[in-house]
């Protein structure tokens, strides 16, 4: 319960005690006594698995109890009984509303597909005829200890301890069952022929800082193997196993030294790649004697959080420095679920939390942003704010700092201030989710995105944002949630919202937490209103997104 709700409940209890002499109050009861004319659902949000039910805790004034009606808004992901019991139907997010006369309250319900009660560590396994392999699995609390194992055909045998023996070439599905829970894994059996190097392992970096991660990529180069049928390579450490760990295709440096890795698939293997693991504390400043001209002459983005740190000490950039248009570059393959764009809820950081890895829709790492680094493009600034909840190093809270007096020069960006979203004052603006300016619990902040101009609003001419001498602030902004109802920085993924507007708060698009992930536009111009008009306005409401992990690394 929020501080606001707790305070309200205490006041109501005191009032009722005074009125009734507390004759009906029992200290043994857990439920608060509610004054006349109130409806209060205890959880503000909850998560439930598909197929499960959840009785909602709620408080209602006795005088309103007979009028209480429950309903669902925003999709058929759940049903709700008139006693407040929700039943999860399919994955997605919606609102459950309890209303009695003029009083109401809501709860956000996130329905997820939870198939992780019992699961194998790997998605598949390739073994050769005559070899054995012990299958590893994880089970959550509540799964019975007694397991039953079975194989779909005779290509393998499996013991009741989960030890698989390859009998003949082919494919087989092995299943483990514990009560009502089960999990399956595909076993591919290959002929026991002599191994051959038919896989190419490509790793772009030959150095990795301790605590940082990199993604390995492998593919078949043999004409005898169809690469499209390979569901997953296995990556292994050949030497230096104390210096790094491997989880799926992600290598994480653990201590200084070298590590050699390779990719395998059955009896096929790749070239070996050696990577040096460095201690970030032992690195000296590489830019101590580098001039601004030398730095930008053959510019490349930072390749580690340590590199970004030293760059920021000299006012040097860490990310992409290309000029950009006002409109976002949107991915051509935005995932959808039940007609809604999906917002990725999976996040991958370095072990020390200073690196945030950006994925595409296929689960590939395509970029990274580093805490304390300097960024200007929409994609990187959005990822930075979403990851770290604060502005990059080249931003200032001021709206008036001059680039001629700043170490950042033409890469200086202005503005980091509270955004109320007050639609009484600005009726052409749409209401953002749970925003404090409209009675919600989340404090939003705004900052500039320095594009090459805004041609959609005549009040903001299409000029260069920062020419190195002066700044012309355009109409492009990022607006994001920074603090919750307790004035704490937001770490709950369900309370993180980030929006981009390039026509001065008239319309917004939600950041979906992957490269090119921008949601459906909503707001005033979308609804047919006149830009920034307090007379002719028609903002369409926020367009909800479905939420799910695109990928799982278990790191």
Among 50-64, 76-90, 392-406, the minimum mean pLDDT is found in 50-64
Distance, C-alpha 271 to centroid of its chain? 34
Average pLDDT over residues 134-138: 82
Cβ burial 384-400 (10 Å sphere, 16+ → b, else e): bbbbbbebbbbbbeeee
3 phi and psi angles, rounded to 5 deg: -60, -40
Among 223-232, 348-357, 427-436, the minimum mean pLDDT is found in 223-232
DSSP-derived 3-state class of residue 479: strand
Question: What percent of the chain has a predicted confidence (pLDDT) above 90?
Answer: 50
Q: 491-527: per-residue pLDDT in tens?
A: 888 899 999 999 999 999 999 999 999 999 999 999 9
Asked if residues 162 and 135 have their Cβ atoms less than 8 Å apart, the reply is: yes
C-alpha radius of gyration, the chain, whole number: 28
pLDDT of residue 422: 94
d(CA 325, CA 476): 10
Superfamily (CATH H level) for 310-555: Microbial ribonucleases (3.10.450.30)
pLDDT of residue 224: 56
Asked if residues 251 and 275 have their Cβ atoms less than 8 Å apart, the reply is: yes
Q: 26-36: per-residue pLDDT in tens?
A: 323 233 333 44
106: nearest Cα among 81, 62, 72, 75: 72
pLDDT of residue 3: 40
Rounded-to-5 percentages of helix, strand, coil across the chain: 10, 35, 50
* CATH class for the domain made up of 118-190: mainly beta
Q: How confident is the model at residue 462 (pLDDT cuts 50, 70, 90)?
A: confident
Dihedral over Cα of 385, 389, 392, 396: its sign: positive
Asked if residues 493 and 366 have their Cβ atoms less than 8 Å apart, the reply is: no
d(CA 39, CA 100): 7
Is the pLDDT reported for residue 445 higher than 90? yes
| Residue count of the chain | 555
Q: 329-357: per-residue pLDDT in tens?
A: 999 999 998 899 999 998 899 999 999 99
Asked if residues 146 and 173 have their Cβ atoms less than 8 Å apart, the reply is: no
Asked if residues 452 and 464 have their Cβ atoms less than 8 Å apart, the reply is: yes
Asked if residues 124 and 185 have their Cβ atoms less than 8 Å apart, the reply is: yes
d(CA 254, CA 244): 5
Asked if residues 164 and 132 have their Cβ atoms less than 8 Å apart, the reply is: yes
Q: Where are the beta strands (DSSP E) in 338-484?
A: 340-344, 355-359, 365-370, 416-419, 443-448, 477-483
The tokens describing 122, both together, are 């790997």
Q: CATH: 3.40.50.720, 3.30.465.10, 2.60.40.1080, 2.60.120.10. Which one for 3-112?
A: 2.60.40.1080
pLDDT of residue 27: 29
pLDDT of residue 202: 85
Instruction: Give me the residue spans of the domains in the chain.
Output: 3-112, 118-190, 196-281, 310-555
* CATH class for the domain made up of 196-281: mainly beta
The conformation of residue 466, written as its DSSP 8-state character, comes to B
> 3-state SS of 502-520?
CCCCCEEEEECCCCCCECC
Q: 169-194: per-residue pLDDT in tens?
A: 888 888 888 887 777 888 888 776 54
Q: How confident is the model at residue 265 (pLDDT cuts 50, 70, 90)?
A: confident
* Residue 41, strand partner residues: 58
> 3-state SS of 154-183?
CCEEECCCCEEEECCCEEEEEEEEECCEEE
Same fold, 3-112 and 118-190: yes
Looking only at the bridges linking them, the beta strands covering 196-202 and 163-166 are unpaired
């Amino acid at each position: 319960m929020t501080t606001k709700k707790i305070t309200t409940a205490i006041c109501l209890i005191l009032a009722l005690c005074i009125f009734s002499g507390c004759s009906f109050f029992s200290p043994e009861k857990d439920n608060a006594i509610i004054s006349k004319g109130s409806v209060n659902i205890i959880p503000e949000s909850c998560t439930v698995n598909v197929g499960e039910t959840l009785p909602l805790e709620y408080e209602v004034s006795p005088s309103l109890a007979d009028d209480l009606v429950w309903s669902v808004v925003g999709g058929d992901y759940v049903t709700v009984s008139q006693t407040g019991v929700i039943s999860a139907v399919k994955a997605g997010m919606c609102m459950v509303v309890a209303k009695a006369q003029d009083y109401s309250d809501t709860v956000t319900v996130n329905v997820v597909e939870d198939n992780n009660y019992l699961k194998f560590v790997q998605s598949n396994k390739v073994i050769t005829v005559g070899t054995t392999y012990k299958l590893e699995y994880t089970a959550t609390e509540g799964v019975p200890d007694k397991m039953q194992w079975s194989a779909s055909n005779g290509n393998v045998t499996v013991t009741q301890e989960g030890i698989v023996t390859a009998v003949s070439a082919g494919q087989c599905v092995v299943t483990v069952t514990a009560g009502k829970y089960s999990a399956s894994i595909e076993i591919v059996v290959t002929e026991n022929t002599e191994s051959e190097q038919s896989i190419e392992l490509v790793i772009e970096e030959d150095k990795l800082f301790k605590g940082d991660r990199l993604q390995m990529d492998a593919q078949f180069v043999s004409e005898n193997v169809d690469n499209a049928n390979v569901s997953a390579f296995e990556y292994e450490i050949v030497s230096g196993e104390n210096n790094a760990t491997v989880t799926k295709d992600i290598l994480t440096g653990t201590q200084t030294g070298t590590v050699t890795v390779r990719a395998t698939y059955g009896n096929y293997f790749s070239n070996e790649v050696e990577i040096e693991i460095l201690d970030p504390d032992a690195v000296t400043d590489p830019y101590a004697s580098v001039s601004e001209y030398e730095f930008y002459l053959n510019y490349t983005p930072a390749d580690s959080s340590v590199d970004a740190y030293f760059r920021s000490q000299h006012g040097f950039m860490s990310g992409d420095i290309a000029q950009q248009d006002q409109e976002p570059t949107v991915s051509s393959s935005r995932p959808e679920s039940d007609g809604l764009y999906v917002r990725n809820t999976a996040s991958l950081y370095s072990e020390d939390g200073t690196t945030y890895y950006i994925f595409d829709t296929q689960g590939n790492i395509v970029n990274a942003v580093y805490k304390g680094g300097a960024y200007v493009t929409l994609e990187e600034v959005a990822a930075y704010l979403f990851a770290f909840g604060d502005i990059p190093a080249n931003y200032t809270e001021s709206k008036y700092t001059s680039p001629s007096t700043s170490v950042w020069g033409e890469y200086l960006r202005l503005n980091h201030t509270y955004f109320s979203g007050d639609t009484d004052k600005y009726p052409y603006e749409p209401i953002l989710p749970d925003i404090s300016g409209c009675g919600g619990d989340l404090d939003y902040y705004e900052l500039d995105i320095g594009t090459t101009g805004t041609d959609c609003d005549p009040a903001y001419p299409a000029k260069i944002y920062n020419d190195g001498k002066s700044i012309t602030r355009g109409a492009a902004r990022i607006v994001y949630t920074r603090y919750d109802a307790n004035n704490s920085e937001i770490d709950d993924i369900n309370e993180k919202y980030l929006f981009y507007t390039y026509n001065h708060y008239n319309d917004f698009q939600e950041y979906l937490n992957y490269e090119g992930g921008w949601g459906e536009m909503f707001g005033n111009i979308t609804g047919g209103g006149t830009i920034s008009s307090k007379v002719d306005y028609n903002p369409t409401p926020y367009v909800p997104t479905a939420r799910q992990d695109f990928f799982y690394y278990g790191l």
